[in-house]
Structure 1
Amino acid sequence: MRAILLLAVAGGVMLSAGFAVAQHQGHLGKADHSHMEHGAPVADTREFVRFPPGLVEHTIANMRDHLLALQQINEALAAGEPEKAGKIAEERLGMSSLRLHGAAEVAKYMPQGMQEAGTSMHKAASRFAIEAQNVGVTGEMKPALGALGQVMAACVGCHAGYRLK
């Protein structure tokens, strides 16, 4: 029961943090092409970011891996394995993962705000990894879940403001 409660709290934290970032960045109300308003499509007003074709595919593959890592982090937390969740976060999303993803090559094509969102996500993932490790000592899951919400908020904020082509 406690695990279910913690996952519910985590989901709420992630959703509210993502909403706050999107609202703060002024992207709420600027729906992407997948949203409908009163039955009619709403224009995608996200900033269009042009990458070289090979880097578009590379970047999208990295983002899909980020989503997979988030799923695996949630699965580890649900299984009561916060240390495993922290390890996944640091290796796949945290500051330690930048070289693995070729971040330096991709960053030069990103507008400043997109770079900042990416850096925010990577830093938040490293903070989550630390908080997840702390759970084993303190028994307190809330700080880890809050840090994971910040990871998701950075993702939501970036995807609400930018699109690749």
Structure 2
Amino acid sequence: MRKISLGLAICGAALAGAAFAEEGHDHMQMMSKMHKDTRIEVDVPGPMKAMMLSNMRSHQQAVAEILAALGKGDGEAAAKIAETRLGMASPGSAACKPNATSGELGDMPKMMASHMPDEMRALGMTMHAQATTFAQEAAKVKQGGDLRPALAELGKVVQACNACHAAYRLD
């Protein structure tokens, strides 16, 4: 149990660091001046950029809530959060689909999809698909059960997020 708690703490610290970096605090701005940012700039209109950043912060919040549910041994709650807020059926996944249609979020996902490079959309789809896989694994966790398989799948979700953030930035 101690190893699992340590793993959850490490995941939480990584998410906090990502949130800190996303907000553009002075330390991160200073570091970016010291190191050339080689990520691909994705030029999107202002309202779309705001929506994309909001979606990503929502994804971070969902992962934090998933970790909290797993910390309580509640695999079913973690699975529900993952599938409804991150998975393939989540509203946010529409922006990563090349043929996005109007839906719950209006035309914004379709417009967002049209501005994203194909590779960026593919990374997004990987994250959403992996979140669905995680949800399936987390649903198997019963109180006091082994969290390791679910945590391994959740790690792949975060890796997909990191791969996209390492390759792209919004302009």
- TM-score with structure 1 length normalisation? 0.76
Match for 1:76: what amino acid? A
Name structure 2 gaps, 5 residues minimum.
14-27, 95-103
Task: Show the counterpart of 2:38.
Answer: 45
2:3 to 2, 5, 9: 5
What's the RMSD between the two structures over aligned residues?
2.6
Distance 2:141 2:71 in 1: 13
Q: Distance in 2 between matches of 1:137 and 1:80?
A: 5
Compare relative contact order (CA 8 Å, sep 6+) and give the higher one, 1 or 2: 1
Instruction: Say whether 1:64 aligns with 2:57.
Output: yes
Aligned residue pair count:
144
Q: Match for residue 89 of structure 2?
A: 96
Residue matched to 2:164: 158
1:21-54 CA distances to partner (integer Å, 9 max, x unpaired)?
xxxxxxxxxxxx65749xx711111000011221
**2: distance between equivalents of 1:35 and 1:149?**
29
Aligned to 2:20: none
Q: 2:126 aligns with which of 120, 135, 140?
A: 120
Task: Provide Cα deviations, 1:58-84, integer angstroms capped at 9, x if missing partner.
Answer: 110010100111111111111111110
Which piece of structure 1 moves more, 78-87 or 104-113?
104-113
The letter for the 1-side match of 2:170 is L
Give distance in 2, aligned partners of 1:77 and 1:35. 36
CA–CA distance in 1 between the matches of 2:74 and 2:63? 14
